[in-house]
Structure 1
Amino acid sequence: MRRSISAQHGRARRRLVASLTGLLALSSALTATPASAESIPERGTAYMGMGIMAHDGMAAGPDGSPPTTRAVHTEGVDVSSHQREVAWSTLWSNGVTWAYTKATEGTSYRNPYFDQQYGGAHDTGMIRGAYHFATPDSGSGTAQADYFVDHGGGWSGDGRTLPGALDIEWNPYGDSCYGKSKSGMVSWIRDFLNRYRSRTGRDAVVYTSTSWWSSCTGDYTGFGSNPLWVARYASTVGELPAGWSSYTMWQYTSSGQTVGDHDKFNGSADTLRQFADD
């Protein structure tokens, strides 16, 4: 009889412990913040190459020094609000002759440091341009091209202004392809490029990586007439995105001197000036 009562008490204790464990687990689940939510940055904080580093990383990445190559290249940098006030004179004295500044993102964000960064590069003597960080899930390609042109992304034939660049890469805020099908992404890019051309008379530069282009456009080949700015952090430029047989610019590192992102224009300083003036 005592063994029966003891067994009953044991079963009751086990049920109580199980119930308490379940309640603690439920409480923890209700109060915990999802890890994925913690890692999602605030809209507007994206910058050129942010998604590239997260998804592609360094392919035999350099230490920030220029890649060893026999081709003629001209050194450049790209900046955003993360750099705040840029030491343009230091960059200039180290051989940097051109720069791109993030102007806009989506249809509501404008880089609060754009004017001083864009103007600072020009005042130092650099040829400079502006770029737009594309978020195809937050507005049409046409609307984002208009916003870009209206907020710093225009072009003038003064020999010192580079055509605007479309930064289209891995989405730092969620789905890699911004929730779009491959054909939907191609249509979005086409709308942006066509609108930019109609507004400025220049073909926008397309900044992207080969891996993203393959994943999100299905290796679409129809934009080869636009200048290509390829992102690959390595000692060689590697395979280009489908549709291009050559590149105009190459972002080769995110750990360069003074400013992290350093780039190469595929040509001499004279060719760079011609590109700005076309």
Structure 2
Amino acid sequence: MPVLRSGSPHRSVRTRTTVAGILLATVSLLVGLPGTAGAAAAGHAPEPRHPEQDWAGSQIARHEGGGGGVLPTPSLAATVEGVDVSGHQGNVNWSGLWSGGVKFAYVKATESTSYTNPYFAQQYNGSYDTGMIRGAYHFATPDTSSGAAQANYFVAHGGGWSKDGKTLPGALDMEYNPYGDTCYGMTATGLVNWMKDWFATYKARTGRDAVIYTSTSWWKQCTGNSAAFGATNPLWVPRYGSSVGELPAGWGFHTIWQYTSTGPTVGDRDSFNGAYDRLQALANG
């Protein structure tokens, strides 16, 4: 039987095969590790793990306090009472809310590009059927996908708009990250650009400038108090106290104020800053 010498082709093939196997295993391991080139190539955080627990204001009381049913200070200015709802409320008694004076509603439709509210039809159509002016909102997770991708997903799953006099423009919910870093691991410039992408895509799809839901404290911390949206996007601001308080930069007034998260029947109660005909004007564009 011939003896294989150190330089024989058989050993070279076996050595190359072994080295290739080691390299393949190493690459596979790296792809699975956070902070590696493989993970960076994916470029996004995991999809939301508990989207049914994320709604407009779900993180506000947690980070800013309040939420305990403080009624607004009486004012001579005209206002319209509203609510906002999401999947965690299930089927909503819209006729009861209407009888209690609620005239408009915002309904969570989507989150990221993976979640749709399973109660959306009952909530969105039910509010409309009782006579309310209603709109849909999207809970943003800027670290999971692009602004354009999330705006397109929102429009495709209930966030569109029609000029029927009863549909409000869609709203983008920008608040504290329920899954980690407050500002989604992004710079102020990165977050502002993400929102610009979302708003531009939404307007291209619907013809409307969307509403933005955000708190002054989060806005200052995460966007550097950007004034980039005040001239175009109506402001829906949460503050659980007797007055709306300081507004984010760029806005001289608010359009909607979420003033409590513990209201009767439905917790999240809102006040439109104007008379009913102004609410109709917002719906009609």
Q: Same fold (TM over 0.5)?
A: yes
Does residue 178 in structure 1 map to residue 223 in structure 2?
Answer: no
Kept in 2, the 8 Å contact 1:62–1:235? The answer is no
Which of 217, 227, 234 does residue 221 from structure 1 map onto? 227
TM-score (normalizing by structure 1): 0.83
In the superposition, relative to structure 1, how do residues 54 and 62 fare at CA in structure 2: closer, same or farther (>3 Å)?
A: closer
Q: Which residue of structure 2 aligns with residue 45 of structure 1?
A: 53
1:243-254 matches, cutoff 5 A:
243-254=250-261
Q: Which residue of structure 2 aligns with residue 232 of structure 1?
A: 239
Q: Using the alignment, how far apart are the partners of 1:215 and 1:238 within structure 2? A: 17
Secondary structure, counterpart of 1:211 in structure 2: helix
Q: Which residue of structure 2 aligns with residue 111 of structure 1?
A: 117
Amino acid in the other structure paired with 2:59: G
Which of 200, 203, 226 does residue 206 from structure 2 map onto? 200
Does residue 210 in structure 1 map to residue 216 in structure 2?
Answer: yes
Please give the per-residue CA displacement for 1:198-241, whole angstroms capped at 9, x wherever unaligned: 11000000000000000000010010121000110111000001
TM-score (normalizing by structure 2): 0.81
Q: Which residue of structure 2 aligns with residue 277 of structure 1?
A: 284
Amino acid in the other structure paired with 1:125: G
Kept in 1, the 8 Å contact 2:52–2:88? The answer is no
Number of aligned positions between the proteins: 237
Q: Using the alignment, how far apart are the partners of 2:115 and 2:91 within structure 1? A: 19
Which of 220, 239, 242 does residue 249 from structure 2 map onto? 242
Question: Identical aligned pairs, as a percentage?
Answer: 61
Q: Using the alignment, how far apart are the partners of 1:65 and 1:89 within structure 2? A: 23
Structure 1 residue runs of 5 or longer lacking an equivalent are 1-39
Deviation (angstroms), 1:42: 1.9
Which of 147, 156, 161 does residue 150 from structure 1 map onto? 156
Which of 86, 94, 101 does residue 88 from structure 1 map onto? 94
Deviation (angstroms), 1:70: 2.5
Does residue 256 in structure 1 map to residue 263 in structure 2?
Answer: yes
Deviation (angstroms), 1:44: 4.6
Q: Which residue of structure 2 aligns with residue 19 of structure 1?
A: none
Kept in 2, the 8 Å contact 1:160–1:276? The answer is yes
Secondary structure, counterpart of 2:110 in structure 1: strand
Structure 2 residue runs of 5 or longer lacking an equivalent are 1-47
Deviation (angstroms), 1:62: 5.4
Which contiguous aligned blocks of 4+ residues in structure 1 show a shift greater than 3 angstroms? Answer: 64-67
Secondary structure, counterpart of 2:200 in structure 1: helix
Q: Using the alignment, how far apart are the partners of 2:73 and 2:104 within structure 1? A: 18
Secondary structure, counterpart of 2:109 in structure 1: strand
Secondary structure, counterpart of 2:53 in structure 1: coil
Kept in 2, the 8 Å contact 1:73–1:265? The answer is yes
Q: Using the alignment, how far apart are the partners of 1:108 and 1:195 within structure 2? A: 18
Please give the per-residue CA displacement for 1:243-273, whole angstroms capped at 9, x wherever unaligned: 1111110000001110000001111111111
In the superposition, relative to structure 1, how do residues 94 and 64 fare at CA in structure 2: closer, same or farther (>3 Å)?
A: farther
